[in-house]
Each structure stands twice: as C-alpha cells, then as structure tokens.
Structure 1
Amino acid sequence: MLARRAMAAGSDAGRAPGVLVVVCLLLCFGFISCGSQRVYGIVHENVTFSVASTVPLNEILWKKQKDKVAEWENSELRAFSPFTNRINLDLVSGDLTIFNLTSSDEDKYEMESPNITGTKTFSLYVLEPLPSPRATCALTNGSIEVLCKISEHYNSHPELTVYSWDCPMEQCKHNSTKVYFKLEDDLPQTIQCTASNPLVNKTSSIVLETCVPNSGHSRNRYMFILSLLGAIIITTCTMLYMRGILKCGRQTDRNSSS
C-alpha cells in the first residue's frame, strides 16, 4: 500500500510541472484571463475598454456584471439601458467606448465572443474631477509643518490620490500629505505640492516666508520703519531750522540798521 501511494505521489509530482507549463502557455497566448484589467474614467467624460482583437469577430457581447451593455449579432447592433445612445462598439477590434460617464457606470465589464477563447474582463473606476490641493503651514515644535490636502468634500476613491512635493530638500522626495522644515535650515523660497490620481494631477505652491513666525519679521519691519521715520524727521527739522536761521538773521540786520 505504501509503495502504491509513493508511486502515485511520484506520478502527481511528475505531472505538476507539465500542468504548470500548459497553464503558462495558455496565459502567454491569452486563452486564460487571470484577472480584470483596471480602467479609469472621469465623470462626464469618455472611457474605452480596449480588446484589440486580432481575429475577425462574428458576434460580440458586452456585459456589466450580468446585465447586457451592447450586443452585435446577425449584423445587428443593440445597446441596452442605461447605455442607449452612450456607447460605441468597434465591430473590428471589439473595443467598447462609453460616453458621458456617471458614477453608477463603475463596475466590472466583460466581453464575450465565440471567436475568442474565454472572456475579456475590465474593472472600471469612475472618478470625480480632481480639485486643486491647498497648501497650508503652521509652526509646530520649532519646525514648520506644511500640509497639502484637497477638499475634505472630495471622497471619490481617496485611496487612489497620491501627494508629492517639489523642492530641493531631501524631505520633498517622499510622498506624503505633510512635510517638515527646521527654522534654522536654509529654507527654499517656494515649494510645490501635487495631488494626483491615475488620470490627473493638480499642483499648488506656498512661499515658506509666510510660515515663519511674525515676531521676527515684525521686529525687522518695525526697525526699518523707525529708521525711515527718523531720517524723515531729522531731514525735516534740519530744513525748518535752516529756514529759521535765515529769518532770524534778517531781523537782526533790520534792528541794527535802525
């Protein structure tokens, strides 16, 4: 009995590599689909599921989950609600284009044809237009904290939004919503923050001088203003004094002559 089990195990082990080779060949030639292809679209815009078939297609069926989207059969093309007047089916390649996307279009789509082995599957993600981020700063524990964030009301797949920075310093090389600068560092004049998703990126900038505590700048401005006022006062007094001397001299001459 043990010998038979050993022989069976050996036989299974011998078949395993062969099965793996067959699976790999099927994957390479596209006869098996391991998963759906991710496709991204923006609300009110268009998206295309690209099949790019290299064989003639006699029949085509596109489905969203179990519901029909479009069907080409017996030389007749039909579009099904809610995709009526919103799709274009390429009868040569099998590509499907959806116009005027809505959030409810987001789902899994499949294309079937008797001319193609298996199905072509796509996972559609519909995104709201990405707003521009807002860069703000604050003084925290002796450092400047700069925050890059888009509107809190934007909740269209937040996991797909990535934040990055642009400045000549090391901390700007990391993708995050926050970046820190020490006050004693040689601060760059301006830094940029970018919010991006798979389709769009939006950028804003901030001047780091506006993040430095007001006390230092106020003191410098105050001293400058005082110096300027002092120079004006001294100049004015000198001119008035000189004019007063001239008047006094004339009065003295008149008195002596009389």
Structure 2
Amino acid sequence: MWLLASLLCLTPLQAHIDCMYVVGIMGENFTFPVQIDQRVVEPVWKKNKDIVAEWEEQNKPTYFDPLRNRSVLMENGSLTIFNLKKDDAGTYMLQYWDSVKDHYLDFKLDVLDSLPEPNISCSISDDELVLNCTARFQGSLSYTWKLSNKPHSHQNQELSIPLKHVGTTTKATCIIKFSQTRRSSEISLIQCLPEEKGNRSRDSLIGAFVLTAIILVGILVFLCRKGPFLQRGLLARQSPACSDPWGDFKRFRTLFTFEYHIISASMFLWVVAVSLSGNPAFQHIPYSPQFSFICKLSEIAFCVLVHVGGVKQ
C-alpha cells in the first residue's frame, strides 16, 4: 500500500536524486514500489544510511535490525516490510548493479496510524433519511455506501434515502478505503426512524389485535349461545372458575378442530397481509412483547368462551 509523490532526497553519493514519497499504515504489510526493467544484481537496502537487507550474488538474502525476521527481499530488488511500525518511517535507498554501473532508488516512507472503523450517523431532512460516514484519519479516504436491498453502491461520504424506501430490515454499510486497506461499519435503518413514529405504530398494532380478539370472541360467544357448539357436548365443566386455561384451550381445539383451524388461518392471513403492507411495527410481531400479551389474551378469551358454554348447558 503506497502513495507516490516526487521529492528531492539528499544522499552522500549524489547531490540530488529523484525520491518517491510513500505511505504505509501501522500494522499492515508494505512493499516498496520498485519497477526495474533490467536484471538486478546484488541489491542492497539502506535505511538512514544503515544497511537493513542485502543479497550478495550466489548467496541468500541477509537481513539486519530493525527489519530482521520481519522483511523479505525479492530478486527484482523489491523489499516488503511486515507488520509496519511507526519506527519504520524514514528514508530508504535501494542500491543495485546492472553489470555496468550502480543505480540508486530513494524512498521517503511515512507510517500513518491504523485505519479506524468508520462512524455512521443518521438524521431526517424533509422526506429523506440522511446517512453520514466519518473517520478520523490523517490520509485522504474514499467512501462507499452499500444497501442490503440494492446491488448498486454509492461513492460518496453522505447518502440520502427517501423515507418511503426505508425498509425495516434494510441495513446500510459504509466502507472506507485508503490505498489497499478497507474498514467498514453497518447500521440498521429502522433505528434511524423517529421514536414517536415507532410508538404510534406499536400502539396501532396493539389496538388492531385487541379489536380483532374482541370481534372473534363476540362471534364465538354468539355461536355458543345459539347452540351449534354445545350440540357436540363434552364442554361443560363443573368448576366455577377457570383453573386450567391451557387445558380448556386444548379441549376446544380437539372438539372444534374445523372451527379452530378456520380461526387460526384467518388470523395468520391477516397478520401476513398487514406485514406485507410495509408498516415497520408489524414486521417485528414475532419478537414483540405486545404480541405475546395478545396471545395470552386470546387464551383467556377461549377459556371464558368454554365456561360460558358450560353455564348455558
């Protein structure tokens, strides 16, 4: 990972030579961008005038502190430093021979802090959800946004999404990149919606379920008093109180299998239809405490229904 810029470097051998400014990130691997079209003979790398790596002909490469055991010298003269440290910053020089004369390449290496994970903030402006991605870093970063429900990416630090397109399961990922290093952060768009809107949706959900439960119980009580349910018998109970709600519910399900499945299928289809409507509150029904409360309320309603039938008989 590196960036280049033309500088002037002073060496004891030459007054002025071209110098490449390169940047690495702490903790990452870094390879000096050596591009030599001819055969490299006996390459020698120096840092601040001290030899750190050399390759004498017919021998293997030799490494010296501070790059011993954390660098590799290739046949083309390139040098790679592993697990870059702040102390690795400095002026490096590659000296090599091409069977005719010596050549020199100089690099000025700067080591930046590790690339942090980006921070994502969100706000609502007019009818749009605005996402902003930031990261504290010394270098110039590129930003990319990706949405879980869309295949395309957006090359910008800020992303605006119409509120009508914000799905409750949609997630947004911000990716920052410096050279070849990437970091990313993710956010669920539902948490960016106003709290009041979510509360109103949940209140509507509770009201709709309670209303549906009342209607169903009213219909069943009406049918029970008219007689069709009691004609099958076996529903009367001797105890004056509802001591076993779950048992009553299971007996109801066993004796009135057809009616039970009709009611269950109707409620299921109703929930599915509302979920597909896109209301954020309804898409989390299976995990909400309100839904658990409604289930308990339905069990009590069935228990009351059975006892109403028992009193009539």
Instruction: Please classify the TM superposition score into its range, dividing by the shorter chain length.
Output: 0.5 to 0.7
Q: Structure 2: any 5+ residue segments left out of the alignment?
A: 1-15, 226-306
1:88 corresponds to which residue? Answer: 72
Residue 144 in structure 1 maps to residue 121 in structure 2:
no
Amino acid at match of 1:98: I
Corresponding position: 1:213 with 2:194 = yes
Aligned counterparts of 1:105 and 1:44: Cα–Cα separation in 2: 12
Assess if the C-alpha contact under 8 Å between 2:45 and 2:54 holds in 1: yes
Work out whether 1:47 is the aligned partner of 2:31.
Answer: yes
Amino acid at match of 1:67: D
Quick one: distance in 2 between partners of 1:88 and 1:247?
91
What are the equivalent positions in structure 2 for 1:17-96 lying under 5 Å apart? 34-36=18-20, 38=22, 40=24, 43=27, 45=29, 47-52=31-36, 54-57=38-41, 59-72=42-55, 78-90=62-74, 92-96=75-79
Per-residue deviation, 1:211: 1.7
Residues 73 and 79 in structure 2, CA contact (< 8 A), matched pair in contact too: yes
1:128 Cα offset (Å) = 5.1
Contact 1:52–1:95 (CA under 8 A) maintained in structure 2: no
Residue 141 of structure 1, CA deviation = 6.6
**Contact 2:23/2:112 (CA < 8 Å) preserved in 1?**
no
Q: Give the SS at the match of 2:76.
A: coil
3-state SS, counterpart of residue 164 of structure 1: strand
State the match for 2:104 in structure 1. 119
After TM superposition, give the deviation of residue 71 of structure 1 in Å. 3.9
Q: Say which is worse superposed, 140-149 or 190-199, in terms of deviation.
A: 140-149
Could you tell me how far 1:108 is from its partner in structure 2? 2.9
Stretch moving more, 206-215 or 137-146: 137-146
Q: Contact (CA 8 Å) 2:52, 2:67: kept in 1 or not?
A: yes
Unaligned runs of 5+ in 1: 1-31, 251-258
Q: What is the CA distance between 1:228 and its match in structure 2? A: 0.9
Per-residue deviation, 1:119: 1.8
Q: Count the aligned residue pairs.
A: 207
* C-alpha RMSD over aligned residues: 3.8
1:161 aligned partner: 141
**Cα distance, 1:46 vs. partner?**
5.4
Q: Which has the higher contact order (CA 8 A, sep 6+)?
A: 1
- The answer on whether the counterparts of 1:69 and 1:79 sit within 8 Å (CA) in structure 2 is yes
Superposed displacement of residue 191, structure 1? 3.1
